[in-house]
Structure 1
Amino acid sequence: MALQLVIPINFLLLLSSGLAEAAPIAKPGCTSVCKNVRIPYPFGIQSGCYMDPWFEIVCNGTGAFLKKINMEVLEIALDGRSSSAEKVRVKGGSIISSNPNCTSMRSGVMNLKGSPFTFSYNNYFVSFGCNVTATIADTDQQVVGCKSLCNTSLINGARNSSSGFNHCIGLIPDGLQVFNVEFASTDNKVLGGCNYAYLSESSRPEIKSINTMEKLGFAPVLLDWQIYNWTNGWRVMLDSFNNRRDFRCYISYSTSSSIYYYSDFDAKSFHNTISKHYDEISSLICNCAWGYEGNPYLSAGCEDINECEDPKLNHCPNKWDCQNAKGGYSCNKKKMIIIGFGASLGGLSLVVSIWWLYKVIKRRSEIKLKKKFFKRNGGLLLQQQLSSSEHNVQNTKLFSSKELDTATDQFNESRILGKGGQGTVYKGMLTDGRIVAIKKCNIVDEGNLEQFINEIIILSQINHRNVVKLLGCCLETEVPLLVYEFIPNGTLSQYLHEEIEEFPLTWNMRLRIAIEVAGALSYLHSAASLPIYHRDIKSTNILLDDKYRAKVADFGTSRTVAIDQTHLTTLVYGTFGYLDPEYFQTSQFTEKSDVYSFGVVLVELLTREKPVSLVRTQERRSLATYFILSMEEGFLFDILDAGVKNEGDIQEIMVVADLAKRCLELNGKRRPTMREVTKELEGVRKTFNGQENCETI
């Protein structure tokens, strides 16, 4: 069984054995292999062979180990074409057990805090047990978990494909550094037996029983890494990049919570950028430029690829027409014509015919591939839905891949607005001048294509001024591309939890934003053609447009429900601090679950406190709990934001605070509906401020 789990990962453009002989991977005089594990710089074994102590490898009779995190290394690869983090494959740490009496299992938290390593979201979260919900306990990340069932009737009644008999599998969020697991019974009983959870790169481990798990004891795990240490890392590399053009780097730095990437450097611009943004740089990744391959962190590590030797790497009609060059190649058309004339006019005609045929075949191959992607991504189903008279979606557009390539400058890294578990968002400009946000999805489950297409149809029909508009999609690419209207002024979270002095939030503005968000959710729950549950309402998913009006965004986890449905049975998914406790216990998401999340946002507007804070005591770590206890103990005004106390009317504040408390009721049936919430907030504004009732669409 262990052999079945320890499957070699297929890293993109992994250095071949032939390249290992031609180009160095370690610093001169340094060992480059330990127990069949290749050790490329910045990793190293001997002193002076690694860039930073975090990259030190201990090589002993057992294997290669990352010294500071004490994990055995199975494979290290440098990704030569991606701006994402590099990867290390390690022998995973502990398999966590809920019962200390399960002594045959290695147990303990895996903590990578302070290191340049994170658990890659390419790993899977696996749990074993009976009628147990297992969740990753990391207050800085989204709630991730899954439910394993042993009761046959429960399994037959559950619509969540991630639930299974005795075990379940789920995804993990990006950037996770602490792996700890909490177990809870699905039927409110005391946990019994041995329940296990672990991380693994394997998507479907063929584990037949708990006994097999106990014998295994570990699973392979992927770690992402980047270079964070300026003193011992980047400064050391500057000399190795001097006078070179065979590399490119991706430098991320934070300014007003935005992340920027720079690429395609020569040595001069690299040095200038490092100097200009010295205090803002947060991380760095480098790789060999196009036309080169090897180890970019070494001065002689990137070597020119001879594209002419491999027909897959050049587009010349024949090998005689190809001339290799540093970082590329050229097709010598003049030489081909001279040879053609020398042979005969007929030979020239033959060459021209071959070239024309090549272009035709290439074009047909591209069209065939686009049709393949279009069909795989549900394009035929979407066309059928668009042509149906049942859907009023004339404004939904099917964009071509060429349109969106042009709009984003071939999806240039400099156009990235942000990255998340659902995908990467790029800023683009359409041919008509409109600025849009283009979301490149990570993956689409082919088993849920009908649901994916139906959600596009439903979301394209949403017509509310406080909901980000879906303009269309492109399905002829490897992964779907979704096109949204562009919202320029960032998220509500930035204005609440970061100091943005040029635009402070007044009380009237906070109340208006609350009304706009509540109105949008009320529309989704009751006024849309089919009720829509958002499932991830939080201040980071509330955007502000050019007039600072609220726009509800990120419908990546949203679900539509039939008119006669009261809830959805789903994999537990949400964000710590905003997650409905009732949903967490039952896995049943209702419209009142969105109400609870909105209640947390309302408290954020009142207090300017974060939803989860490690500064507060354990009992009050959750903002919802902290707020309710403060109200019950009569200390509400001690936790309110100064701007609220100074600008808001006391009665007005108390009405809004009482409404927030009712939204946070543990029993969902006692919470108001979003329509009731909207009316109460509009009433507050009208009664206390003498303003007109806010108009909703």
Structure 2
Amino acid sequence: MPPPSLFSAAAVLLLLLLRFCHLSASLTDQDFSTYPGCDGTFSCGNIHSLRHPFTGGDRPDHCGPPEFRLTCIKDSYPEITVESVAYRVLEANLTGKTLVLARSDLWNTTCPSTFVNSTLDSRIFDANGGQNVDLTIFFGCSSSPMFIQPQNRFYCDVGGVDLTDSYFLIGEVPIDPIRKLIHCAKGVRIPLLRTVGADLNRSLLTLAEALTRGFEVIYSDPYDDQCSECSRSDGDCGFDVTSGQPICICNSRICSPPGNSKKGSLVLTIILPTIGAILAGAAIGWGLFVCKRRRKRRATKEASTMQTGSKSILTIGSSNGLYSDTQSNFNSSVPSYPSSKTTKEFGKCSYFGAQVFTYEELEAATDNFNDSRELGDGGYGTVYHGKLLDGREVAVKRLYENNYKRVEQFMNEVAILTRLDHENLVKLYGCTSKRSRELLLVYEYISNGTVADHLHGKLANSNSKSALFTWSVRLNIAIETGKALAYLHESDIIHRDVKTNNILLDKRFRVKVADFGLSRLFPINATHVSTAPQGTPGYVDPEYYQCYQLTDKSDVYSFGVVLIELVSSLQAVDTNRDRLEINLSAMAINKIQSHKLDELVDKSIGFETNGLVRRMITLVAELAFRCLQQDSGMRPTMKEVVEILRGIQDDELNAQKPEVLDMVVDDGALFKDHNTEPPSPEYGVTNTLYGSCMPNSSDG
């Protein structure tokens, strides 16, 4: 029989358990209010697939903290208020927990109604310093600050108050060594995307345009720990506006409150440890009692064994040996499978079917990423030439930095390239594990540089341009690039960064289109994807920039710029050119419209000496003109572009076309007659829109 003390302990334990159950029931049933509508995702304005911590629109306020409440504006960007300042939400990346925000009071205007800085609570919204730079705007200055360039001056008139002498500055504001202060009436400081700031400094964007590009923040839910606990119990995290505390919602009712609840804390910190201590004491008492009984039984058994002799001992030994052998055979017959944790360590690279490389083997292949092995920049990383142990030559892309945005682009490129197979697309061999020291992508090595290198880069002054980079080579490059883009569009993928730097060439000048970090999968049956414009200045579709609506025709526009580069050997953007010709697309439209194509064409490719070449270049220029139409509806598809280029190459269309370009522009094109003023130098990045934006279809 167990000792009486154990019965007493058991009785106390039973009473405490009953009390605990009663308390738990009271905690569970304390609030009979309903909290519906917090499961699944929701849409707000033109941003879709939102979830906790965001609320707004049809999403009730009890589904998230007030700091993440959105104002939903139909067919437009939702707004969020931070420190009493309203911002438009241009992009929301819930995986990377980043937002791209733009000041609502400075949307398409440089004169705010109130002069306040953009200040953020870093515990909730961190203005990612790696992606942003400070923009300071000075209003109503009595004199021009010496450290600001004249082109940074702009006009501002607010409510009749003349703030004509206004200026902007990118980066840190220097301290005036004499006056210590800048004598201006007002000043506002705003974060700005670093890439946008660079374009603004180079006058590729106006101040008003730059302000619509916004800045990136990393957001943090202050109640993330409690919400994670709620998610593990299959609940939806919500927020009690009255108490100002997070709640866990199951079937539209409060359940299992997160650990910061006072009553829940009482249960976890007092009652459960007390019950644990009593259970431990009872277990120790019971263990002592059992040990005492076993000692008595062992003594009795030993006495019995001494009487029966050695035969009994041999029997026991034989039995133990048989059991041991059987156990050993069983263990050796069962295969050892890796745990799910081990499998996950290979990362998403193996998930998409690509080979997983170790950091060490890629470090050895590139001679410790030696500067002499550097091939160039690949959008979001530096590319190095390497040689694997199996003899393969590879190009290894190394991320600039492992932040959310870079990792997202890294995985985006893996996901897209592993599902594609085309002779004119660069092949992805594999990547490193997500647990590797660094994230690296491994491609096939393409040895002959990029089209940009041959046209106006490191290979432009070599013999390859005059002797090898002939018109027929250039036309074939255009066709193969067009085939690759047409294949992407048929696969519901938009490249989004088509440029000559991303067109690689092998030794036979065959094309390999590369760099898919910005590419997007296009939703089935969608007319466009709504997302903040990204790409390279000079190549970005003006309609995409104006309407924030990405379509396959955005790639067509960029390809039109590539065609002009192949014809002219000029860069897409060159600030050393005349002001009206900085942007190549504007320059090309002007030359074509003014019947001055001969001033645009590279003299080394036979335009003036070979009649057949002249006709083909004229037809390609006409095709480029169609691709560069500001209204995307006027542009051909990539499939049509390839068919036209093939026809030009086969000389099927030459007999039907005049030798000199005499183009008539349809209604809706950029210029309706030959007397129209030439386009502004900012063509392609201005806010002027010929046509209208389509209604929103899909968010990106």
When normalised by structure 2's length, the TM-score is 0.46
Normalized per residue, which structure has more helix?
A: 2
Greater C-alpha radius of gyration: 2
When normalised by structure 1's length, the TM-score is 0.46
